[in-house]
Amino acid sequence: MSEDESTECIKKQVEEYTEYIDLIINNAGITGKETEILSTNSEELMELFNIHCLGVIRAVKGTYVALAKSDHPRIINVSSRLGSLHKMANKEFPQGKFSYSYRIAKAAQNMLTLCLQQEFENKGIRVTAIHPGKLKTDIGAFDANMTPAEGAQNIYDWVLDSSEKVSGKFIEPGVGEIKW
């Protein structure tokens, strides 16, 4: 997903296997390292923006034709609470605990989610951002409280139970809506 050629590869794979797709879940992601601005570099910022934002754009472009043929098309972008401007403005994250590039890339991905939702709303394609929860991973938060398997199960259950009213929302399954 890190190269523009991915779009054509996705299109070909989709055409080979199916006529339509009901659901796209964009879940590629990496974290940055630098937690202070003086150590943050443009290479790390661009790498994370490429994966978290441009990767989503490539996936959507590659699947759009098949997605548009679905009776109930959905795009879910796996985001992070760390991309919430509301949470950041309210100082919910301790300084020095999370990388600049990850937070910036996830905030940009959240804006992309809203842009896609507005563009596709009249086409019947629902677009939602999901925070999977505070996962115990190598890049997990200091306050992590669930395994990746539990987070995946929460997302799966939420996808099965959610309604059209969640389009354009930022959701943490099992918890509720997150302010952008």
For 130-163, what is each residue's pLDDT tens digit?
A: 998 777 776 666 677 788 888 888 888 888 888 7
Any bridge partners for residue 129, and if so which? Answer: 77, 170
The whole-number pLDDT of residue 162 equals: 81
Q: What is the mean pLDDT of the chain?
A: 90
HSE value, Cβ hemisphere, 13 Å, CA-based, for 71: 0
The whole-number pLDDT of residue 22 equals: 96
Q: Read off the pLDDT of each residue in 106-130 and give the average, rounded to a whole number.
A: 97
The whole-number pLDDT of residue 2 equals: 74
Buried b (16+ CB within 10 A) or exposed e, 127-165: bbbbbbbbbeeeebbeeeebeeeebbebbeebbeebeee
Contact 106, 80 (CB under 8 A): yes
The answer to whether residue 116 scores a pLDDT higher than 80 is: yes
pLDDT interval class at 48 (50, 70, 90): very high
Q: Read off the pLDDT of each residue in 44-49 and give the average, rounded to a whole number.
A: 96
Q: State how beta strands 74-78 and 23-26 pair.
A: parallel
151 versus 100: the higher-pLDDT residue is 100
Query: How many degrees, rounded to 5, is the angle at CA 62 between CA 42 and CA 32?
Result: 25
Q: What are the extents of the domains in the chain?
A: 5-177
d(CA 49, CA 45): 6
Look at residue 167 and give its three-state secondary structure: coil
Contact 100, 34 (CB under 8 A): yes
CATH topology classification for 5-177: Rossmann fold (3.40.50)
Q: Read off the pLDDT of each residue in 105-114 and give the average, rounded to a whole number.
A: 98
pLDDT interval class at 109 (50, 70, 90): very high
For 78-97, what is each residue's pLDDT tens digit?
A: 999 999 999 999 998 877 77
The whole-number pLDDT of residue 79 equals: 95
